[in-house]
């Protein structure tokens, strides 16, 4: 059965017309087994989370042990070894000043917490007027109300809500002289009201996979610092190797004030995210006044089972050649994917790390295209105007070639179908 269950409300779907929902029953490596025993090669690593492939035994073993010891304990009033170890593990991966982790249960909530940190930082510094945010067109930062306010209000998935969420500043990424001048003018005119600037480094993922370079991040960071504005880096999709380095901002020589992590943090096994701050941000909350504390605490924050999975995932990055595998994926994508540029419907082909993007002129017959990929034995989920793959880093050469071959075969078929 590929039909939706009548008691479930599925994400990002018009339920009136949803008629194709394959039922998964098993995962292994880069493969998904369906109820009818059909096997799909996963081209999107379960929304970009399963960086080590599914069911990695190191992560499974760590979770099994933690499940027996203590699957959950409230973090209000308690501490525990898995969270303490994870904070130290993340500290070891980041520059020296990132010493304070606030663990939450999803990427959207990590962004919400980072926004609350930024606003309250300025309140505690007696600058309560600094409460607005500047974000960028084609950006995506989550589905909760605060996070929606910093997504692209026109082209993003949440345009319906633009009159119901706080109005923020949303402008073009400063990639050329005109957009750089506009960025500087916006900052000059709003610096007294801006709490923070936020961006997804190098790749704006769910907003359409727009790329920019390290020098853009450096430009933004320098101006933020010069104008006393905090800088938040949203690494939820790009972090943990996806763009070719452990974190996408690494080579830009910047020092953001807050970093948001999620998705691949647990290797795609269980939900966990975090907001990590510098010492200077953290110290602004230290006071004799209780109201100066950060008043946030999700029920499942710092969940021990999730922290154990994340610790195992980080050990895999240290012990297995993940970044080399990402480089090999990038080489393969650059070698073969650019063939798609010759197709009539294709506007651009972009590759960075383990991300391959085919941008099309117009996304027609989306449901036909998604079904056709499943028929071909691959799980690829086009959206907006992009057909993309972001596979697990451990994907075999054979399976990666199957994904690429499916794209090259099916896009011309889709072009023909779209003309009917």
- The 3 state secondary structure assigned to 233-299 is EECCCCCCCCCCCCCCCHHHCCCCCEEEECHHHHCCCCCCEEEEEEHHHHHCCCCCCHHHCCCCCCC
d(CA 304, CA 314): 15
Spatial distance between the Cα atoms of 370 and 377, rounded to a whole number of angstroms: 11
The three-state secondary structure class of 37 is coil
Tell me what percent of the residues of the chain surpass a pLDDT of 70.
100
Instruction: List Cα–Cα distances, 163 to 111, 147, 158, 420, in angstroms.
Output: 20, 14, 10, 38
251 and 215 in a common domain: yes
CA distance 137 to 215: 18
Is 29 inside any structural domain? no
In this predicted structure, what is the pLDDT of residue 37?
97
Q: What is the pLDDT of residue 367?
A: 93
CATH of the domain at 290: 3.40.640.10
Whether residues 306 and 325 share a domain: the answer is no
345 to 349, 354, 359: CA distances (angstroms): 11, 23, 9
Range of the domain at 105: 57-314
Q: Which of 234, 257, 282, 388 is catalytic?
A: 234
The answer, yes or no, to whether residue 256 has pLDDT greater than 60, is yes
Domain boundary among 251, 280, 314: 314
Phi, psi dihedral angles at 260 (to 5 degrees) = -100, 130
What is the mean predicted confidence (pLDDT) over 140-149? 94
Find the catalytic residue in 130, 137, 210, 263: 263
Residue 210 has pLDDT above 80, yes or no: yes
Q: Model pTM? A: 0.97
12, 16, 288, 419: the active-site residue? 12
**Using CB atoms within 10 A of its CB, is residue 54 exposed (0-12), middle (13-18) or buried (19+)?**
buried
Q: What average pLDDT does the segment 303-315 reach? A: 98
234 is a catalytic site residue: yes
Rounded Cα distance between 251 and 238, Å, is 13
Active site residue 263: yes
Number of domains in the chain: 2
The pLDDT of residue 153? 86
In this model, does residue 117 exceed pLDDT 90? yes
Please pick, among 140, 143, 152, 388, the residue that the annotation labels catalytic: 140
Instruction: Provide mean pLDDT across the span 15-26.
Output: 95
- The number of residues making up the chain comes to 420
Same domain? 328 vs 289: no
pLDDT for the residue 160: 85
**Predicted pLDDT of residue 1:** 57
Q: What is the mean pLDDT of residues 350-378?
A: 97
Q: What is the pLDDT of residue 158?
A: 77
Q: What is the pLDDT of residue 258?
A: 98
Tell me the pLDDT tens digit for each residue of 53-105. Answer: 999 999 999 999 999 999 999 999 999 999 999 999 999 999 999 999 999 99
Report the pLDDT averaged over residues 185-211. Answer: 97
> Could you read off the pLDDT of 224-253 as tens digits, one per residue?
999 999 999 999 999 999 999 999 999 999
Residue 70 makes CB contacts below 8 A (sequence gap 6+) with: 80, 304
pLDDT, averaged across the chain: 96
**Structural domain includes residue 8:** no
- The reply to whether 162 and 278 lie within a common domain is yes
């Amino acid at each position: 059965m590929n039909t939706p269950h009548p008691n479930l409300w599925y994400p990002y779907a018009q339920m009136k017309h949803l008629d194709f929902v394959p039922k998964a029953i098993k995962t292994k490596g880069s493969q998904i087994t369906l109820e009818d025993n059909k096997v799909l090669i996963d081209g999107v690593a379960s929304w970009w989370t399963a960086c080590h492939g599914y069911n990695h035994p190191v992560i499974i073993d760590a979770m099994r042990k933690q499940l027996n010891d203590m699957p959950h304990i409230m973090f209000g009033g308690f501490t525990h070894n898995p969270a303490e170890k994870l904070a130290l593990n993340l500290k070891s991966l980041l520059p020296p000043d990132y010493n304070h982790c606030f663990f939450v249960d999803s990427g959207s909530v990590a962004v919400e917490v980072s926004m609350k940190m930024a606003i309250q930082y300025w309140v505690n510094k007696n600058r309560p007027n600094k409460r607005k945010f500047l974000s960028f067109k084609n950006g995506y930062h989550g589905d909760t109300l605060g996070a929606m306010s910093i997504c692209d209000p026109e082209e993003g998935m949440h345009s319906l809500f633009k009159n119901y969420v706080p109005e923020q500043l949303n402008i073009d990424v400063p990639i050329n002289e005109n957009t750089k001048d506009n960025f500087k003018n916006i900052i000059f005119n709003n610096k007294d009201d801006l709490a923070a600037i936020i961006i997804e480094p190098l790749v704006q993922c769910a907003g359409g996979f727009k790329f920019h370079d390290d020098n853009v991040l450096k430009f933004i960071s320098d101006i933020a610092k010069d104008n006393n504005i905090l800088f938040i880096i949203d690494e939820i999709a790009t972090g943990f190797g996806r763009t070719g380095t452990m974190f996408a901002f690494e080579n830009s020589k910047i020092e953001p004030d807050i970093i948001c992590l999620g998705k691949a943090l647990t290797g795609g096994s269980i939900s966990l995210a975090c907001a990590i701050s510098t010492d200077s941000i953290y110290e602004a909350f230290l006071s004799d006044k209780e109201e100066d504390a950060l008043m946030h605490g999700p029920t499942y924050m710092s969940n021990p089972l999730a922290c154990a999975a994340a610790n195992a995932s980080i050990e895999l990055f240290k012990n297995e050649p993940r970044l080399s595998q990402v480089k090999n994926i990038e080489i393969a994508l650059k070698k073969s994917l650019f063939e798609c540029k010759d197709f009539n419907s294709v506007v651009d082909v972009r590759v960075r790390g383990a991300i391959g993007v085919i941008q099309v002129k117009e996304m027609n017959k989306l449901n036909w295209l998604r079904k056709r990929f499943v028929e071909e034995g691959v799980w690829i989920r086009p959206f907006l105007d992009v057909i993309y793959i972001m596979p697990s880093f451990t994907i075999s050469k054979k399976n990666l070639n199957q994904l690429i071959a499916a794209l090259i075969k099916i896009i011309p078929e889709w072009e023909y179908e779209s003309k009917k």
